[in-house]
Amino acid sequence: RIGSATSLSSAIISNRLQELVKLFKERTEKVKEKLTDPDVTSDDESPAASPAKLAPAAAPVPPPGGEPEGDKPVGDEHYCEMLCCTFKYRPWLVRLKNYKFPSSIDPLTNLVYVLWLFFVVMAWNWNCWLIPVRWAFPYQTPANIHYWLLVDYLCDFIYLLDILVFQTRLQFVRGGDIITDKKAMKENYLRSQRFKMDVVCLLPLDFFYFKVGVNPLLRFPRCLKYMAFFEFNNRLEAILSKAYIYRVIRTTAYLLYSLHVNSCLYYWASAYEGLGSTSWVYDGEGNSYIRCYYWAVKTLITIGGLPDPKTLFEIVFQLLNYFTGVFAFSVMIGQMRDVVGAATAGQTYYRSCMDSTIKYMNFYKIPRTVQNRVKTWYEYTWHSQGMLDELELLVQLPDKMRLDIAIDVNYNIVSKVALFQGCDRQMIFDMLKRLRSVVYLPNDYVCKKGEIGREMYIIQAGQVQVLGGPDGKSVLVTLKAGSVFGEISLLAAGGGNRRTANVIAHGFANLFILDKKDLNEILVHYPESQKLLRKKAKKMLKNNNKPKDEKGAPGDPLIIPPKADTPKLFQAALAAAGRMGGKGPLAQLRWRLKELKAMQA
Residue 263 vs residues 129, 151, 284, 294: alpha-carbon distances, Å:
12, 23, 14, 8
| Total domains in the fold of the chain | 3
Residue 442 and residue 320 share a domain: no
Beta-carbon-side half-sphere exposure of residue 201 (alpha carbons within 13 Å): 28
DSSP class of residue 499 equals P
Average pLDDT, rounded, for the chain = 79
Q: Which of 158-172, 338-352, 421-435, 510-524 has the highest mean pLDDT?
A: 158-172
Which has the minimum average pLDDT: 209-213, 362-366, 597-601?
Answer: 597-601
Predicted local distance difference test score (pLDDT) of residue 499: 81
Residue 197 and residue 316 share a domain: no
CA atoms of 477 and 464, how far apart (whole Å):
9
Residues 152-163: b if buried by 16+ CB within 10 A, e if exposed: beebbebbeebb
Question: Do residues 439 and 381 lie in contact, with contact meaning Cβ atoms separated by under 8 Å?
Answer: yes
Q: Is the pLDDT of residue 356 over 50?
A: yes
Closest residue by Cα to residue 423 from 535, 540, 516: 535
The answer as to whether 10 is a domain residue is no
CA atoms of 207 and 194, how far apart (whole Å):
25
Q: Which structural domain range is residue 295 located in?
A: 244-388
Q: Is the pLDDT of residue 261 over 60?
A: yes
The answer as to whether 182 is a domain residue is yes
CA atoms of 459 and 481, how far apart (whole Å):
5
Q: End of a domain among 239, 268, 303? A: 239
Task: Identify the band that residue 567 occupies on the pLDDT scale cut at 50, 70 and 90.
Answer: low
Residue 408 and residue 342 share a domain: no
CA atoms of 296 and 327, how far apart (whole Å):
14
Residue 487 and residue 540 share a domain: yes
Residue 432 and residue 295 share a domain: no
Which has the minimum average pLDDT: 44-53, 322-331, 571-580?
Answer: 44-53
Residue 115 and residue 185 share a domain: yes
Convert the pLDDT of each residue in 23-60 to its tens digit: 888 888 777 666 655 544 444 444 444 443 334 344 44
CA atoms of 446 and 484, how far apart (whole Å):
13
Residues 347-382: b if buried by 16+ CB within 10 A, e if exposed: eeebeeebeebeeebeeeeeeeeeeeebeebbebbb
The answer as to whether 13 is a domain residue is no
Closest residue by Cα to residue 488 from 428, 430, 546, 420: 420
The answer as to whether 298 is a domain residue is yes
Q: End of a domain among 500, 524, 545? A: 545
Task: Identify the band that residue 121 occupies on the pLDDT scale cut at 50, 70 and 90.
Answer: very high
The answer as to whether 335 is a domain residue is yes
Question: Do residues 441 and 380 lie in contact, with contact meaning Cβ atoms separated by under 8 Å?
Answer: yes
The answer as to whether 207 is a domain residue is yes
Q: Is the pLDDT of residue 520 over 70?
A: yes
Residue 212 and residue 271 share a domain: no
Task: Identify the band that residue 429 occupies on the pLDDT scale cut at 50, 70 and 90.
Answer: confident
CATH code, domain with 275: 1.10.287
Residue 199 and residue 139 share a domain: yes
Predicted local distance difference test score (pLDDT) of residue 71: 45
Predicted local distance difference test score (pLDDT) of residue 109: 87
Residue 404 and residue 540 share a domain: yes
CATH code, domain with 474: 2.60.120.10
CA atoms of 479 and 321, how far apart (whole Å):
69
Residue 270 and residue 224 share a domain: no
The answer as to whether 361 is a domain residue is yes
Residue 494 and residue 410 share a domain: yes
Residues whose CB falls within 8 Å of the CB of residue 148, separated by 6 or more in sequence, listed in order? 134, 140, 214
Q: End of a domain among 494, 523, 545? A: 545
Section 88-108 average pLDDT: 76
Residue 484 vs residues 418, 437, 457, 476, 488: alpha-carbon distances, Å:
9, 14, 6, 16, 10
Side chain identity, residue 466:
V
The answer as to whether 185 is a domain residue is yes
Residue 212 and residue 116 share a domain: yes
